[in-house]
Chains A and B, each alone.
Chain A
Amino acid sequence: MAEWFGDNSGLLGLALLDGLASAGLIFLVAVGLNLVFGVLRIINVAHGSLYAIGAYAAASVGIVFASMGLPAWASLPALVVAAALVGGILGPLIERLVLRRIYGQEEVLQLLVTFALFMILEDVQKLIWGVQPVQHDQAMRLLGTYDVPFAGDVVPFTAYQLFVLPGVALVVLVGLAWFLRRTLTGRVIVAVTTDREAATAMGIDARRVFLLTFTFGAMLAALGGALSSPTGAIVPGIGAQTIVLSFAVVATAGLGQTEGAALTALMIGLGRSIAVYFEPELEVVVPYIIMVAVLLVRPQGLFGSTVARRI
């Protein structure tokens, strides 16, 4: 075994770098879904649509910025601006017009409603952006590449994927932990998550908390899409691809667990990249192997806690 690690240490090092970039993006999408479920108790299938619209909007904003003659570095804040716009507009709209009507309803109904919303938003994307791939990669090109030494040669990585994606994910993780634990609004959210009835009885406006949380979750989904947009093409269907993986992360992490989502995203990102190097056929199933392995041992997820059923 030690000999195998010795022989493949270079490849494992490359896989680690790939895994970190992948984990960063997975975390950004999944953490929003996890947060929304933790507070609103709704599994939001339309989260994937918010990711896709965030990606489309980021490309559009980037193209507009470029056409206005703004400097190349403006493509980086354009990503954040797009995510804020998508989350800030669509988040409250969806929460007020749709979700507010199904709080406390059966889970099947909630799933069906958010799935319907997902389908509608898929068509909206096609109406606005068409079906041909959309791309705007200025942010990735702006930062250039970073050469990693390997076997007497170098392997170029984009600085965007090596530093920006994991960096933003780390900032969101730390910022979210600080926000939820150290600010009044964060503590209110945690209170509603823990016991909505008790929190409401103590004067907390749960509806406002729901609106705030969903909007924030929508922004995180859109941020994930926006950050992914410089590295890939945006096409119809990317929302569906994303939401499936996000559900695996949420289920593995434990519903509502931010740190759990980070750890799970890291496990999945590293697991997939190592699989590509040494057993490519397993790459697609690695997230689900991890999920099944964790749930067999801890049905409540890595960081989830068992909740006594009230009678």
Chain B
Amino acid sequence: MPPTDMSRRDLLAGAAGLTAGGLLMAGSDADAQPQRPAELKIGITTFLSGPASVFGVPGRQAAEMMVDEFNQRGGIGGVRVRALFVDEAPGTEHLVGEFRRLVQSEGVHVMFASISSGSCLACTPLSRDLQKTTVLWDCATQRIFEEGPQPFAFRTQGFATPEVLAPLLYLLKTKPEFRTMAVINQDYAWGRDSWEMWRTGMEALKPGVRIVAELFPRLGAPDFTTEITRLLAARPDVIFSGHWGGDLVTLARQAAERRLFERSTFVLPVAEASLPILGRTFPAGHVIGTRGDHWNNHPRPKDPARLRALNEAYRARFNEPVIYPVHHMVQAFNALKAAYEKAIAAKGGGWPNDMELAAAFRGLTFDSPTATITLREDGQGLEDQIVGVSTHAEGTPYAIPKDMVIFPAAMVSTPVGMKSVDWLKTLKPDILAQVPAAISG
């Protein structure tokens, strides 16, 4: 095992120490014995403006839907739920102030933060300072749980490492003959981190691949003409791109028109949300992911009726197809409900304080429409990853995946106590033998 900055034992000791320390803080808010509140307030940070609102607004809509659904069924633990939203777009300084306001002035019982990795990195220390349970409902940065114990923060979905490693394994399994590759990623944390992880994993599993272009256009760039020309001239066998939202739509449309898809195989870990907008412009034969396992044509969902009901209810209410942030928000609400029920049961029916709620989240298991998700001892959720190759099916007006592989979360997730890049360096080609068989169709 390579040297790591933080061993599993250190992490658990840290978490236990912080929890115990918190429990000894007599009279602190986190330890107070609360009465059952009149309403359960959830502070939610999400992008309500700017380019990332393509994810943030569906997230808010999903939250509104879940609040209504929970309240129609008597709320959580018999308490009605209310969501208070904050826009992430103005930046982390504004967000930190809003986080404090929601906790200290509005008295929210739990926080849901955030879409941007930068926002999550800014909010997570606050969850510890304010001793407020914070559900990281969408952000992907691997750093959150790798840089220290988080006693009050929990992520109810996967994270960047499995979201990059699963497509890499899929590519190596299905098209192992490639010799050259290029990257075109947005110039910010996810774009840089995802490429570092991809390259590290690829060098461990298939050394000798020649990188012919590394392009990092700015986030929100309206045009990729030059980058596409550069890629056409370089002729890589494979192009990795973590692009999402409007940027991916623009890139894919320009690439399709200029026949770049015909010359190179694209690997797009965040393709799912943009496919309905791209329609049949997005061609068949490229590797696509969805930041989890929640494709609408999931071949083996845990609860098909629930998945269908979610799709139908969301489309009926908002006239849009379900995309992954909707699933992530639904997962956060389901986890919250499960955690409160667990904490209330542990307290013999009493309403839990912040410390007791946080304790209930650790090791929590809850159901999503597609799978059962478990939160590890460090707070990170284990969410399976489904990767497939794009195809055009009859009756579907846009590309969907076929030949899907369901990667078990534990197989593609960094073990507790290790850092992702260090772990990726230790991968051996025999991991490919563990890749489950593709589900044809």
Q: Which residues of A contact B (CB under 8 A)?
A: 10-11, 14-15, 17-19, 21-22, 25, 122-123, 126, 130-133, 135, 137, 140-141, 145, 150-151, 153, 155-158, 161, 228, 231-238, 240-242, 272-273, 276-277, 280-281, 283-284
Contacts and interface: CB of A to CB of B under 8 A. Distances in A.
Contacts of B245: 133, 233, 235
Interface string B195-234: 0000000000000000001111110111101110110110
A17 to B, nearest CB: 8
A236 B53 contact: yes
Interface string B38-61: 000000000001110110110000
Contacts of A10: 233
- Which of the listed residues B245, B246, B249, B250 has the most CB atoms from chain A within 10 Å of its own CB? B246
A131 B54 contact: yes
A140 B257 contact: yes
Nearest to A10: B233
A276 B230 contact: yes
A156 B226 CA distance: 12
A220 B409 CA distance: 52
B54 A276 contact: no
Interface string B237-267: 0000000011101100110011100000000
Interface of B: 49-51, 53-54, 56-57, 187, 213-218, 220-223, 225-227, 229-230, 232-233, 235, 245-247, 249-250, 253-254, 257-259, 274, 277-278, 281, 320
Contacts of A240: 50
Contacts of B214: 280
Contacts of B278: 135
Contacts of A232: 222-223, 246, 249-250, 253-254
A277 B277 contact: no
9 contacts: A123-B49, A126-B57, A132-B320, A135-B249, A145-B257, A153-B235, A161-B225, A232-B246, A241-B221
B256 to A, nearest CB: 9
Given A131-B57, A156-B259, A238 B232 contact: no
Contacts of A233: 245-247, 249-250, 253, 277
B52 to A, nearest CB: 8
Chain A at the B interface: SS class: helix
Given A131-B53, A133-B246, A232-B250, A151 B233 contact: yes
Contacts of A155: 229, 232-233
Nearest to A137: B253
Contacts of B320: 132
B215 to A, nearest CB: 5
A277 to B, nearest CB: 6
Nearest to A150: B233
Contacts of B281: 137
Given A137-B253, A156-B259, A232-B250, A238 B233 contact: no
Contacts, number: 130
B51 A237 contact: yes
Contacts of A272: 226
B227 A231 contact: no
A11 B233 contact: yes
B246 A25 contact: no
A15 B278 CA distance: 28
B50 A236 contact: yes
Given A150-B233, A232-B254, A284 B246 contact: no
B49 A236 contact: yes
A10 B215 CA distance: 19
Given A156-B259, A233-B250, 7 more contacts: A19-B226, A137-B257, A233-B246, A234-B246, A235-B51, A236-B50, A276-B226
B235 to A, nearest CB: 8
Contacts of B53: 126, 131, 236-237
B55 to A, nearest CB: 9
Nearest to A155: B232
Contact of A133 (B227, B233, B249): B249
Contacts of B254: 158, 231-232
B345 to A, nearest CB: 39
Nearest to A14: B229
Nearest to B221: A241
A18 B229 contact: yes
Contacts of A21: 225
Contacts of B221: 241
Contacts of A156: 232, 258-259
A237 B222 contact: no
A276 B257 contact: no
A231 B250 contact: yes
Nearest to B321: A132
A239 B213 CA distance: 29
A93 to B, nearest CB: 23
Contact of A236 (B51, B187, B225, B230): B51
Nearest to A141: B257
A20 B320 CA distance: 38
